[in-house]
Every structure is written in C-alpha cells, then in structure tokens.
Structure 1
Amino acid sequence: MKKNLLHYKGLYGDNNQRDFGDFVHHELLATRSKVYNWEINVHLHTDLFQIFIISSGEGVLIQDNIRIHLMTPCILLIPTNTFHGFEFQSDVSGEVFTISEQFIESIFKNTPLILLELNKVKQYSFNLENHDLNDFIYLKNKIIKTISESNPYKQISLQSLFQLFFIGLYNSYSTFEDQKESSNNRTLGYFHAFQKLIKKTLPESKLIKEYAGELRITPVHLNRICQTLVQKTALQVVHEYCITEAKKHLLYSSYSISEISYLLHFKDPAYFSRLFKKQTGLSPIIFRSNNSQKES
C-alpha cells in the first residue's frame, strides 16, 4: 500500500501542473487503457470531471473498495476529486471525455440543481432499443467534431452541446425528490457554494458560522438550507465530507489513524476516531482491516 493517495493533476499517468481553464479532452477508451493492460489503478483527478461512454464489452468500476459491473451500453460520470479505478476486458469499446470543473461550473452556473446531480458517481445504462441512446450518440459525435474544429465559436458550441448532453441525462434519469425540484435556484446555489467551501478548506478547522459568513447568510439560514435539501444539519454535511476523505486515506494510503486525523485538521485523534465510528458504525482501525481483507 502506498503512503500517499494516487492523484493526477492531468489525465491518468500525467501529473504535470497546468491551468486547465475551459479544458475539454476526448480520446478512445482503449488509447490509455491498453497501455496499462486494461487495468487502471484507483486514483483521482484534481479538478477534472470525466464522462465514459462505453458502447460494448465488459468492465468493472472500483470505487470505495466496491466492484461495480458496467452494464453496457452505458454512460458513466466521475465527478472531480473522486477516487475510481477500472478493470476492463480487452473487448471493451468506448470513449472518454475529460473536462475541467471550471467548464462544468460555467455552463451550469444558473442551474445549480444539475451541478448537485453531477457531484455523484453515476452509471446510466441503456438497452439497445432505447431511443435516448441514439440522442446521446449523436451529441457525442457532434462534440468530437467540434473539438477538432478551429473557429471563434468553438467554445460556445461545446458549452451548448454539453448542456444538451447533461440536461438529457438529467431529464431521463432524474431521481431528485419533489422538495429538491421545488427548491429555488438561490437555495440550491447556496448549498452548492457551501459544498465548494468545504472542499476548499480543511473542514474541521472552520466553524459553521464562518462558512455562513463567507456565504453572507446566517448559520440558521445555512442549517435550514441543508435540512431542506439533504435532511442534515450544516455540521452533519461537514462531518460527512470529513468521513468521506478519511475513508480515502484509510483505503488507499498507509497513513496511521493519528496522521489521518491531523491531515483533516482534527486536533484530537481520539475525537476523530469517535466521530468516524459514530458515522460508520466501525472504528477507523476496523474499517481499514475489513477492507484490507476484501482486497486480499
């Protein structure tokens, strides 16, 4: 087990620091996967969102130490900073789009409901008679053609095409509860901004009133937003993120429990362990041990 988490600031195997801006990249699935013998180690991409459009063949997504079989044909969405790995069979056929978080944010800045939906790993499976699949294939081909073009309206065209692509997925497979549908954009925008603030800081080092202050709302208002959208307090949302980050280190690094607690800015490792057990039902040591056994 490696000491550090495996993360890339670029594509898989590329760790060159760069300013991605409105970065949009396309390649065949086999281009990179074949080089690595069809096995992609568990990793994350900093500030990059990925769309896998897999038309046929077999593969397994590995996330949180769980193996998820890909039901092809399918579209798989991997949010930014999300650990994932793959084991593909050599018969797999598909394509990968990698786009910057900044690009996603820019095209849906007025539609925070979709931004919330894009925060989760999702697999959308189709049967071959599904007419929606043809729509997505059409949009995919238009995007590929547009990427290769050189004209002053290229970026605007890509924004429009990706909007149609994601809205099509959302309309076909939306699982949002009625209360989220009825929430206004302002409320959803505050919650999305809160999530971004949590990710940008070491959460345990900041108070809820400080988050609220940065959002220019009261702590009571922030709690009400969280209760409405996810039935949790603002503090519970922060703790949920902390536990998710802790799981990454427990699963994919060899840091000790104390080191992980300090990395997440918990002042007391014992408190970190108690919170982890309260949230998961397992102590950090047992969680790591159980998942190590799954790997062996």
Structure 2
Amino acid sequence: MKKNLLNYKGLYGDNNSHELGNFVHHELLATRSKLYNWEINEHLHTDLFQIFIISAGEGLLIQDNNKIKLEAPCILIIPTNTFHGFEFQSDVIGEVLTISDQFIETIFANSPLILLELNKVKQYSFTQENNDILNDLLFLKNKIVNEIAENKQYKQLCLQSLFQLFFIELHILNTFENENRGPNNRTLTYFHAFQKGIKKTLPKTKLVKEYAEDLRITPVHLNRVCNALVQKSALQVIQDFSITEAKKYLVYTSHSISEIAYLLNFKDPAYFSRLFKKQTGFSPNQYRNTVIQKE
C-alpha cells in the first residue's frame, strides 16, 4: 500500500500557503514531535531549510529507507527538498530552527563553498575536542532565538548576521573534519548553480549541454567542475538527482515503471530500469516491493 507523498510548503503538518521570503522560525523539538507521538513521517519541504539542535536524548533520522542514529549533543541540517522523517525518544530535548531557502541564498550569495556544504544532509557531533565550537554555536543560537522573539529595528539584518556566524562556525567544524579543501570559488559557484538548475527542472531534466549553456560555460568545463568536486561527470550528477526522484515516485505513488521513466524524461523505460539497478542494486520493482514490505 502506497504512503502519501508528504510535501509541505510550511512546517510539518502545515498545509497552509505562506509568504516565505525571509521566513525564520524557532520552536522546541517537543512542540511538534509530541503531537505526533514522537514519530515524524517522511516528508519534504520544497522551500525550507532546517537546523535540529539536540542537547539531550537521542532519536533516529529516517532517510531513503535508512535509519541514522542521532545522539546528543549534535546538530543536524536538512536542506530544502530533502526527504526525511524522525523517530525520537520521549525524553529528547532539542530545538528546531527553520529558515527559507531564499534567506540562505541571500546571506551566502558570495560564499559558494558554504552553500555547497548546506546542500546536503549532515550531522555534526560534538566531543571534548570540539566543545568550544559547540559553545559558540549555542551562544549564537540563543541570540537568534531572542532576536526572533523581539520586533526590533533592523531585525532582519541582525538575523542575517547571526545566521552567517552560525553557519561559518559549522564550516570551521567541517574544515577540521576534512582538511582537503582545494576547489576555487568559481568552481564551487558553477557547481552550486548547476545543482540549483537541476532542482528547478525536476522531475524533468535537461541535457548536459543545456545546463552548461545556462551557466555560460562549455559541457567540457562543466564536466571538469563536477569531477573536481564530486568525482563524477555532469551526466552522473544529473542521474543522481533523477534516481532520487524515482525512489520517491516508486514508494509514494502508484505510477508504473514506464510512467515514472517518462515523468523523469527517460525516453526508454528499459534504459531507466538498467540505470536504476546500476545505481541502487535493485530493479525499480524490487526497490518498490522491498521498501513497502519494510513498512
């Protein structure tokens, strides 16, 4: 039996349309989780970015049929348009900051490396070794929460500055974890714009040369960009997005394999099935049946 594809413009359970713009929201983790018996079904937010700050207790992040342990103290970032769900223990203590994708794009318009980091799900764990960074992050979080609650002059400017500092601290932590930083800003800018271009056209995708034209670079240049950052060709990056979309359609709709292939702009359903199996190890039908049986 298919589950519903839960896609919220606002917060979880909120089906009302909102003017997002510079949307910024804060709430305790228990506020919404308790309403749903500490189990949040898999869903996505098309225009919202979320930060989960867990200070005590633990839970599970559910993503792509996998369960990933979340153990305090940790910070979890969930980018826009990312399928995710949760199972929390009832004694978990934490907070959730939600901001619009537009807000993120505004404050980091000139920082492509940070935008690239914020484009993927990541859990930041803390130990004695990086406890000073955690303290800095919690200090900034408290300043953000206070700023949200008040209605002062220059509120938006203050929030932008505080979030910039917050994400820069996460970037510093990321740098400690991975010393191999090499790509220049232009390469990162092209790659981020490429990813953004793919997301805009989903579920359909365009040819590599068309995305390259949008960026005003050659397909060869775009391939070099992708290889430098993710060790994949531009076509493989596009295919990764398509396979992620295919998984959603397989689990959350009753569309046939051929219908899904055409929705994703594959002219040959057989080729789509071969690619899906190559990427996942399962045929589309096997994947669909396996996930449903686990539910």
Q: TM-score range by the shorter chain?
A: over 0.9
Moved more, 166-175 or 211-220: 166-175
Find out whether 1:173 has 2:174 as its counterpart: yes
Shift of 1:265: 2.0
Contact 1:43 1:84 in 2 (8 A): yes
Question: Aligned partner of 2:120: which letter?
Answer: K
1:194-229 CA-partner distances (Å, limit 9, x unpaired): 000101113654211111111111111111111111
Question: Aligned partner of 2:169: which letter?
Answer: G
Contact 2:198 2:205 in 1 (8 A): no
Paired position in structure 2 for 1:282? 282
Distance in 1, Cα, partners of 2:80 & 2:205: 23
What TM-score, normalized by structure 2, do the two folds share?
A: 0.94
Distance in 1, Cα, partners of 2:226 & 2:218: 13
**Number of equivalenced pairs:** 293
Paired position in structure 2 for 1:140? 141
The runs of 5 or more residues in structure 1 that have no matched partner are none
The runs of 5 or more residues in structure 2 that have no matched partner are none
What TM-score, normalized by structure 1, do the two folds share?
A: 0.93
Over 3 Å counting, the alpha-carbon distance change for 1:156 and 1:21 in structure 2 is: same
Question: Aligned partner of 2:150: which letter?
Answer: E
Over 3 Å counting, the alpha-carbon distance change for 1:121 and 1:207 in structure 2 is: same
Shift of 1:4: 4.6
Distance in 2, Cα, partners of 1:251 & 1:139: 39
Paired position in structure 2 for 1:93? 93
Shift of 1:11: 0.3
Find out whether 1:120 has 2:120 as its counterpart: yes
Distance in 2, Cα, partners of 1:132 & 1:30: 25
Over 3 Å counting, the alpha-carbon distance change for 1:59 and 1:169 in structure 2 is: same
Question: Aligned partner of 1:163: which letter?
Answer: Q
Paired position in structure 2 for 1:221? 221
1:158-197 alignment runs, 5 A limit: 158-174=159-175, 175-176=177-178, 178=180, 181-197=181-197
1:82-125 CA-partner distances (Å, limit 9, x unpaired): 11111111111111001000111111111111111111111112
Distance in 2, Cα, partners of 1:282 & 1:76: 29
Paired position in structure 2 for 1:151? 152
Distance in 1, Cα, partners of 2:126 & 2:253: 36
Moved more, 109-118 or 165-174: 165-174
1:23-34 alignment runs, 5 A limit: 23-34=23-34
Distance in 2, Cα, partners of 1:202 & 1:59: 31
Q: Percent identity?
A: 73
1:24-63 alignment runs, 5 A limit: 24-63=24-63
Contact 1:3 1:254 in 2 (8 A): no
Distance in 1, Cα, partners of 2:179 & 2:262: 37
Question: Aligned partner of 1:145: which letter?
Answer: N
1:225-244 alignment runs, 5 A limit: 225-244=225-244
Q: Secondary structure at the match of 1:109?
A: coil
Q: Secondary structure at the match of 1:42?
A: strand
Distance in 2, Cα, partners of 1:107 & 1:268: 42
Q: Secondary structure at the match of 1:96?
A: strand
Moved more, 252-261 or 219-228: 252-261
Q: CA RMSD in A?
A: 1.7
Distance in 1, Cα, partners of 2:251 & 2:269: 18
Contact 1:61 1:84 in 2 (8 A): yes
